[in-house]
Structure 1
Amino acid sequence: MTATPPQPESPLVPRAHHPAPRAPHVGRPARHALRDTLALAALPLVVALALPAAFAGGGTRRWFGGRAENQRAEAQAAKDAAAAAFYELDTAQRDLRISIETITAVDDSPAARRAVADFQAVSARIDEVSHQYIQAVDAYDLDRDDLEASAASQARTALTRAKDDLTNVKRELDRFGDSLGPLIGKAETQLARLAPAVERARQGLLAASNALDAVRGSGLTADDLAARLAALGPELTKLNQGAGQHGVPQTLERAERVAQQAEAVRVEAERLPERAAEIDHRLVSLRTRAQALTTRAEQVEPVLSELRRRFAAACWQDLQHVPDLAERNVEQAELKLREARAARDDQRWPDATALLSTVRALLNTTDESVSAAGDRLRRLNAVQKDPQQEIDRTRFAIRDAQRLAMAGRNTPDPRHARPLDDAVARLDRAIGTLEGRHPDYWHFLTETEAVRQTVAQVVSQIRDDRGAGH
């Protein structure tokens, strides 16, 4: 705004980026008159009222009575009111400019860019009415001894109009300032978060560094964690350079990211001794398990021999590969255990963990295969001794599903009845395979199990349909 005093620099935006608007040219007498007017407006009321008497008693100027003096007094009052309006507008614009600088330093959204453009438009209007006000002040010297009544009247009219224009623009500026409430609130919120966020990042880096030092003091190298912490060094440098250089949103995002990554390093560093101990324990445990599986695998061949001797080939052919598979898997597991041991000694923790997971998967597969042979012999012995138990178990499941399908109905839903009828027929066919000299007991067992699974699916469908109100 014209004739705006120098403003304090924004803590976020360099002063060079926001130069103060230049005041229009004002003549020397006008500047003196404006300065005197602003000084008079700033005086206490009692002093201001005493000034006319002081001038009257000095005898240094001629005073004309009557209408001319009344017009002069009215013009002077208009001049004082215009000066006060000018001062209020200047102060409001200065305060609002600081708010705009705060918004632009924090927010680059379309709404923020519109606010900047709107402020520039209002400022142009302020410059216009301020220039008109100064022209009115320059045009009339109210201190002249020979000031005519007509000139004083013209001055009063011009200064009153200038005051009204200044007041109207002040209202426009106030309305614009009120509309900035959400943007200013958002900017102030981010600024309030800035310092704590940066401090959290710094403290997080310090805590991670201290945790890493403690781990190294215990004899663990933690090279991967040290590398991750070192990679955060440039980020800390940018945080120290401040938001004025890198922007508030970017600095906030950087501070939060650094804090999270530093916290992750700290947690892993503090857990590293426990992780090392856990890996040591898994090495011992998995080696013991591999040895036990080697012993169990040796017992598979006798089980297969009994299966071959007592049951049809279909009951055991799929188990022929178990001994060889168990031997290969155990050998592979022992090789991976040695590699895991070497990785642990080199403190390559991710490699050691991955290798131990591979060992566990190999041993799980071997355990299932070895167990399958013994489980097969047990189930075949049971069904050979008493197949009726398996038959009754399956029939009960079918009848229970049929009762559920008929509950509250005269006829069953075809979607439920058809698969249940098929299950009955399938069970009858499975029972028929038990006839003959060498029954396929394993086929019988897999068929009855498949029938029960089908029945269970029908029961689940019936309950879902009734739950949905069908």
Structure 2
Amino acid sequence: MTATHARPRAGASARAGFVRGVVALVLMPLPLVVAALPAAFAGGGTRRWFGGRGDSRRAEAQAAKDAAAAAFYELDTAQRDLRISIETITAVDGSPGARRAVEEFTALGHRIDEVSHAYITAVDTHDLDRDDLDPSVAVRARTELTGAKDELVRVRGELERFAQGLGPLLEKAETQLARLAPSVERARQALLTASNALDDVRASGMRADDLAAGLAALAPELTRLNEGAGRHGVPETLQRADRVVREAEAIRAEAGRLPERAAEIDKRLVSLRTRAQALTTRTEGVEPVLSELRRRFAVACWQDLQPVPAQAGEDVRRAEEKLKEATKARDEQRWPDATALLTTVRALLNSVDEAVSAAGDRLRRLDAVAKDPEQEIQRTRFAIRDAQRLAMAGRNTPDPRHARPLDDCVARLDRAVAGLEGRHPDYWHFLTELEAVRQTVARVVGLIRSERGPAA
């Protein structure tokens, strides 16, 4: 005999009906074995009735038989419904709680078999349609059938209580099953959309081979989705459907971006090619700048710039080679390679730009400090004095952690100024030393303010 769950909540009725439909579609239901009882539900065939006390006993026995048959039917129906609930849970949930539920249901099934056997035996033992039915036999039949009915009702109560305890597990399973069909359909639609997007971009002349390979790799996943959750399990099918949606959507989005990506690469190729040509011209102007530096300033002011023309020329040459490789990659629609090569070209040209600009900037700064070093000196003295006032604010004596580095800065400034005396002063050392002093002062100011808070 099979079993079922008595639906304890009115709101669960519609949901259980929906889930049974889903289970019937996505799961392989277990066969329900029902005892063949040719006479178990019979209300009695054609029989002769005799008046008197015998007929009363026969009627009471028949009523007991009918009540037992109704109890048997109700238990059978409840067991069938509950089996669907158990199958729903086991299809989705492999947790210890779900396994315990299966074990308890199996144990209940054994008790149901026992009381069902007792009922069937009672029915088969007594033929209540016999013309010569003895009243004592009718009494005994009534007693046995009533007892069988009571046991059937008792076990049905156990079944109902067990079904009520399945609520959380069943709700979780129903939620996942309710997601199953929409999730699989979304995956199918996502693959179709990605395929259409790929067809459109190919129609415009782009090969998109990497996207086509990615889409082809999803074909086995679609096959598994079509095979159903009955074969692969509900959780695995849901995860597979979600993964297919994500990957198919990524392919669709990338296919949609391909024309824009190609246009952007074309634009960058033109821009970087133009920039390389301009830097070639600028690189040619570095040598005259170095000649001016060599003529007017000490060796220490320009020696580090000597390699700039050769290095800049080499970097421009390498950039132009990478541009050719990037152009070939773009023509072959190797978009990642083209993008990576253009990034390398940009880095090389940035390096050239910085080096070439450094030579001109050096000459301008040295010219300015040679004409008027006092501006740099006063700028640095002001920074030191401002930091000293902050260090003394609200104090009689400064904190040694603040005073010591500020005193060192004063000494460094004095040494740098003294170094300007002589026939060929090192103006570049002077500039870099004063910049270092200002950086040290800024660190001390930051330390003081962090210790004193926003009011400092």
Q: How does 1:43-442 map to 2 (within 5 A)?
A: 60-65=48-53, 73-143=59-129, 151-407=137-393, 412-442=398-428
* 1:398-422 CA-partner distances (Å, limit 9, x unpaired): 3444444455556555544444444
* Residue 96 of structure 1, CA deviation: 1.2
Counterparts of 1:34 and 1:416 in 2: how far apart (Å)?
103
Distance 1:122 1:418, change over 3 A: farther
Question: Is the counterpart of residue 36 in structure 1 residue 42 in structure 2?
Answer: yes
CA contact (8 A) 1:394 1:452 kept: yes
CA contact (8 A) 1:416 1:462 kept: yes
CA contact (8 A) 1:2 1:131 kept: no
SS of equivalent residue, structure 2 residue 25: coil
Q: Please, which moves more after superposition, 72-81 or 131-140? A: 72-81
CA contact (8 A) 1:12 1:102 kept: no
Identity of aligned residues (%): 72
* 1:414-436 CA-partner distances (Å, limit 9, x unpaired): 54444444434433443333333
Question: Is the counterpart of residue 449 in structure 1 residue 403 in structure 2?
Answer: no
Distance 1:32 1:345, change over 3 A: closer
* Residue 299 of structure 1, CA deviation: 1.2
Where in structure 2 are there 5+ consecutive unaligned residues? Answer: 5-19
CA contact (8 A) 2:32 2:80 kept: no
Distance 1:140 1:299, change over 3 A: same
Counterparts of 1:313 and 1:211 in 2: how far apart (Å)?
64
Distance 1:2 1:349, change over 3 A: closer
Q: Please, which moves more after superposition, 293-302 or 220-229? A: 220-229
Counterparts of 1:139 and 1:371 in 2: how far apart (Å)?
112
Counterparts of 2:375 and 2:286 in 1: how far apart (Å)?
27
Matched residue type, 1:218: S
Select 1:10's aligned residue among 14, 24, 30. Answer: 24
* 1:284-329 CA-partner distances (Å, limit 9, x unpaired): 1111100111111111111112222222222211111111110000
Counterparts of 1:160 and 1:423 in 2: how far apart (Å)?
109
CA contact (8 A) 1:10 1:101 kept: no
CA contact (8 A) 2:64 2:142 kept: yes
CA contact (8 A) 2:3 2:75 kept: no
Select 1:20's aligned residue among 22, 28, 32. Answer: 32
Matched residue type, 1:61: W
Counterparts of 2:396 and 2:128 in 1: how far apart (Å)?
112
* 1:348-373 CA-partner distances (Å, limit 9, x unpaired): 22221111111111101111111111
* Residue 267 of structure 1, CA deviation: 1.8
Counterparts of 2:399 and 2:132 in 1: how far apart (Å)?
116
Distance 1:295 1:130, change over 3 A: same
Counterparts of 1:402 and 1:75 in 2: how far apart (Å)?
114
CA contact (8 A) 2:290 2:359 kept: yes
* Residue 76 of structure 1, CA deviation: 4.2
Scaled by the length of structure 1, what TM-score is found? 0.83
* Residue 203 of structure 1, CA deviation: 2.0
Where in structure 1 are there 5+ consecutive unaligned residues? Answer: 41-54
CA contact (8 A) 2:3 2:77 kept: no
Distance 1:72 1:463, change over 3 A: farther
Scaled by the length of structure 2, what TM-score is found? 0.85
RMSD over equivalenced CA pairs, Å:
3.1
Distance 1:409 1:161, change over 3 A: farther
Aligned residue pair count: 439
Counterparts of 2:119 and 2:274 in 1: how far apart (Å)?
97
Matched residue type, 2:373: P
* Residue 282 of structure 1, CA deviation: 1.1
